[in-house]
A and B are shown apart, each in its own frame.
Chain A
């Protein structure tokens, strides 16, 4: 069973493999540098639906069904589904999952939901409480804009710090068996608030959370950033990335050499007019499931730290002048499992 390392990290003792994963997106994501790696692309961002919320459910359903299919199983083989999104009451996920008949737990971790759902899925699988778990999340530019910002046709100028919500979804199926990629360890994030109040600068609000979680993980595991091929943050964007590098440098744990951010990978920032980069639950989820997991599976990447970051505010808290708390959960994903031979 998983054991605790230090105060924040849980080390998995048995090999939890991600046996199926899939990423879904729309036109803008397809036009981005990672477009060719997506499993399902629907050029029509309405997904043939009559509302943006329904479109997001269809998008998530697309990723979930594909992940289940790639795992070579049926929905009936999954014991627990963990999912969430950015919409009020997480309707993107519940409406997407209502025909699956899988025991369901809804989560809200804002843009950190992919890491939150996947770490819980890995733990439930590792402990044997579930044979197979499904972790999924999504975001849709149009449903997020209308909930958090302005109507789509409103004629405003976006600030240079603003990020573009990714229309994307990712889903992973976990099982206790051999086969890369594996989940080695997880670190549950703490809520960090450095007093950033600008809703158009989420990267700056979330960078301290990524910093705290990374420090906790390195401390608990007694490892260094150079021990990993890739340190992948969720959606810090250009400004959050710059600030995270500053924080890490100051803590003498520089990650500049092997750090990448999903928000900067998914779009061509300048050509696609996304200002500081991509954001949203679907950003980290779709980059992980389209571009990173295949590389972990075939060994091009051996050790990856995946840290999805979330800005835990609501439109109400922002209007009331509250600052934006950030949160970041971490998963250590790998091509091999250290204790594989002993456990299998």
Chain B
């Protein structure tokens, strides 16, 4: 068997992901998180907060919830079933910061926790901010 034939055989041997389960779960959990965020926003609005401030309250609450659940070793068990449902909303970003911070604390607060907490979220920050700079420049030039 040549390497090429083998790679084809290996590809064929891979069982498919359980999309029939994963996609509805992601939709359900992701949707529930959005409902939760909206509920917090509505609550904040009912307390008389401005719309901007109320939105921030929604985001902060979800970040806090995600960070606390990560700290309690619960988040990964939910994410195992929810997949993109917990990854895509802001909860996934919070988990990607908190989990390496917890993991690498054993290497110290500076080079462990401090440096490695960006090991997963770092690229998102770099390319997210870079994209917004480019977008800003385009807006200045075109606008």
A residues near B (Cβ < 8 Å) are: 50-52, 146, 150-161, 193-196, 201, 204, 208, 239, 242-243, 246-247, 250
B66 smallest CB distance to A (angstroms): 9
Contact of B106 among A51, A157, A161, A246 (CB under 8 A): A51
B111 proximal to A (CB < 8 A):
no
Nearest CB in chain A to that of B100: its residue: A151
Nearest CB in chain B to that of A273: its residue: B80
Determine the distance from Cα of A152 to Cα of B7 in the docked complex, in whole angstroms.
Answer: 31
Contact with A along B30-74 (1 / 0, CB 8 A): 000000000000000000000000000000000000000011010
B124 proximal to A (CB < 8 A):
no
A28 smallest CB distance to B (angstroms): 15
Residues A153 and B14 in contact, CB atoms below 8 Å apart: no
Determine the distance from Cα of A247 to Cα of B80 in the docked complex, in whole angstroms.
Answer: 34
Determine the distance from Cα of A50 to Cα of B108 in the docked complex, in whole angstroms.
Answer: 12
Residues B86 and A242 in contact, CB atoms below 8 Å apart: no
Determine the distance from Cα of A249 to Cα of B85 in the docked complex, in whole angstroms.
Answer: 43
Residues A160 and B17 in contact, CB atoms below 8 Å apart: yes
Nearest CB in chain A to that of B107: its residue: A51
Inter-chain contacts of B96 with A (CB < 8 A):
154
Interface size class, chain B: 35 or more
Nearest CB in chain A to that of B82: its residue: A155
B6 proximal to A (CB < 8 A):
yes
Taking A239-B14, A243-B13 as contacts, is the C-beta distance between A195 and B3 under 8 angstroms?
Answer: yes
Contact of A157 among B4, B10, B13, B22 (CB under 8 A): B22
Determine the distance from Cα of A160 to Cα of B22 in the docked complex, in whole angstroms.
Answer: 12
Of A152, A194, A195, chain B has the most CB atoms within 10 Å of the CB of A194
